[in-house]
Amino acid sequence: MPSREEIFKHEQEQHINGRNSSMKTDKPIIYIDLDGVCADYNSYFADQYLEHGREMEDIFLDKEVFNRLSKIDGCVKAVRILNNDYDLYFLSTPIWQAPDSYTDKRLWISKVFGNIATNKLILSHNKGLLKGDYLIDDTKSNGVGDFEGEHLWFGQDYKNWDEVLLFFDKISK
């Protein structure tokens, strides 16, 4: 078994020599938003605000919010199916006033999606900066309107994950 020093030296050499210097893929790229697309933030928010009388800011700043979010129906199945033919990334806007949300989003996707999510989380307040083919998002904010690929407006134009899968099934034929 290699020592810690040997492992560190190996990692350093890999970094210097450009391990993964090119990560281009031939697969089309899909970015998937988390809140409201995979994580049922809207139901949790409504329950806490309407049923329990919590203030909006209190809910946003809750350090445990992501541990309490359930999955949107069909998201895990859809992600597994799409992962076969597309290069998937999770693209989410963290809550600036809640720095824990950065880590919490990472932990949530690992818990829900396992290995599919490894090294696949991108956090940005401007989604229009990314290059890709498709963006599945439930809003048009945070630069979504500037995204150069096709925006699949989840919950509006595509009501659920079955409709999203139907879209991708149609374009693959």
> Would you please indicate which residues are annotated as catalytic (active-site) residues?
33, 35
Task: In the chain, count H helices and then E strands.
Answer: 6, 5
If one counts every other C-beta atom within 10 angstroms of the C-beta of residue 62, the result is 19
Task: For residue 79, give the nearest of 70, 88, 71 by alpha carbon.
Answer: 88
> What distances in angstroms separate CA 68 from CA 39, 65, 133, one per listed residue?
10, 5, 31
The values of phi and psi at residue 5, to 5°, are -65, -40
| Distance between CA atoms of residues 135 and 40, nearest Å | 18
